Structure formats: C-alpha cells, structure tokens
Amino acid sequence: MFLTAAPEYHLGMLHLHSTSPERWLSQVDQNLNVILIDHAHCEQKAASTAMHLMFEYVENEELRDEMTEIIAEELEHFHMVLALLKQRNIRFYKLKPGTYGRKLMELCRRQEPHKAIDRLLIAALFEARSCERFVLLRDHLQDSQLSDFYGSLYESEARHHATYVRLAQSYGSVDAVNCRLEGLAAAEATVVADGCELPRVHS
Ligand SMILES: [Fe+2]
Ligand SMILES: [Fe+2]
C-alpha cells in the first residue's frame, strides 16, 4: 500500500515517481527516537553534500552562491533537530547509515559533465523524498510539537530540490537533464519500494 500525497505539493513538482509505502510509517511509529536521531544526521549530511559540491564545482558562480545558502540552511536545520533531541533527553549518537544513499550514489556516472549532473540530481531526489516524508510526518504524528516541526521544514526541502535540478542544467541541456532525472527518479522509486530494515528517514 502506498500513501496518498498531501495537497500542498504534487509528486510531479518533486519529480518523484512514487509516494512512500505505509511500511515506512510503521517503522516511524516503532522507532520514533531513532528516526529523529537519523533526521539530525540527514541535515548534517545535506550540509556536507552541498559543501562537497561547492568545492568540486567552485568555478560555477551560481552553484557556489546557492551552496553557501544551502549549507547555512541545512546547518540551521541540524541545530533545530539537535535542540529537539536535547529537549527530549534523546542522546545523539552515530548511526549506521541506511542503504538509500549508497544505492542512489551507485547510479552516479563517473565522467564529467555527466558526473556533475548526476550528483546534483541525486541531491535533488534526496531533498524531494525528505520533503514528501516531512509532510507525511506532519500529518501522521500525534505529537503536536513534532507535527508542527515537520510542517515548518518541508517547504525549504522542496526549494532545495528545485535549486539542485536547475543547477544540473549548467552541465547539460534541459532535455538531457530532464531525461536523466526521470531515469534516476524511477530508480529511486524502486529503492524506496525495496525498503531498508533499518528505521531511517529514507528507509
Ligand atoms: Fe534540511
Ligand atoms: Fe534540504
């Protein structure tokens, strides 16, 4: 069973080929604290991804400017999740990563400019899936503090998604980038359908 998309956005806007399965919300319900800890890691990882992209493609002025903004915003999200953990007396610790990121990165082509396109589009899909799931959490969680928290976060992830897709177009034609995005999004939907037994934001 797949969940219904919330009305504020549609899957097409996020270029996702599927909504999340109900199985994921059961993982959330049974492991809420671990999901929150993983969420902190995700924000930290999102800042790190943007930092790596900035170093790699520093001559691209638009990319450089956008990455500095995204790094700052993701670190702000990281601080917000850490504060939430602290307030709830949940210890932050290193978690074994789920399989989602590795499976997506395996799809990244090795030669430039394809590599740049793929890295940016994979980052875009990460943001899109986070956005979709934050809306699901907002609507699903009974805890009003958490529900409000996720309601306040999803828009920035949708914006990051759009930024990464636009930046990918610095390295290929709009048609070539869209075609690749469709292919990667189809693969992403398969990764989500296969799932991961570890409870994670992207499992
Ligand atoms: Fe974020
Ligand atoms: Fe983001």
Domains and CATH numbers, the chain: 22-194 (1.20.1260.10)
Nearest to 48, CA basis, from 81, 77, 80, 71: 71
Predicted pLDDT of residue 11 = 77
Largest CA distance in the chain: 49
pLDDT value for 6? 59
Ligand at minimal distance from the CA of 164 is 2
Distance CA 31, CA 27 (A): 6
Average pLDDT over the chain, rounded to whole? 95
3-state DSSP call for residue 2? strand
Structure confidence at residue 1 (pLDDT): 59
Structure tokens at 120: 């940016």
Let me know: does 193 contact 21? Beta carbons within 8 Å: yes
Closest C-alpha to 95, from 50, 55, 41: 41
Residue, of 4 and 22, whose pLDDT is higher: 22
As a whole-number percent, the residues of the chain with pLDDT over 90 amount to 94
Distance (angstroms) between ligand 1 centre and the Cα of 182 equals 23
Q: pTM higher than 0.75, yes or no?
A: yes
Ligand 1 centroid to 85 CA: how many Å? 16
**Cβ atoms 152, 76 nearer than 8 A:** no
Query: For residue 3, is pLDDT > 70?
Result: no
Q: What is the pLDDT of residue 164?
A: 98
CB 192 within 8 A of CB 14: no
Pick from 156, 174, 183, 173: nearest CA to 17: 183
Q: How far is CA 107 from CA 100, 102, 172, 181, 188, in A?
A: 11, 9, 17, 12, 10
Task: Read off the pLDDT of residues 109-168 as tens digits, 9 standing for 90 and up.
Answer: 999 999 999 999 999 999 999 999 999 999 999 999 999 999 999 999 999 999 999 999
Distance 160 CA to ligand 2 centre (A): 5
Give helix then strand counts, H and E, for the chain.
8, 0
Residues 32, 95, 99, 23, Cα dihedral to 10°: -10
Rounded to a whole number, what is the distance in angstroms from the first to the last CA of the chain? 16
Closest-lying ligand to the alpha carbon of 201? 1
Query: pLDDT-based confidence at 12, cuts 50/70/90?
Result: confident
CA of 59 to the centre of ligand 1 (A): 25
Whether the CB-CB separation of 14 and 128 falls below 8 Å is answered with: yes
What gap in Å lies between CA 6 and CA 17, rounded to an integer? 15
Provide the pLDDT for residue 8.
63
pLDDT tens digits for range 100-126: 999 999 999 999 999 999 999 999 999
164 CA → ligand 2 middle, Å: 10
Q: Residues whose CB is under 5 A from ligand 1 (ion)?
A: 43, 74, 77
Q: Does residue 185 have a pLDDT over 80? A: yes
Q: Tokens representing 47?
A: 């800042």
Q: How confident is the model at residue 5 (pLDDT cuts 50, 70, 90)?
A: low
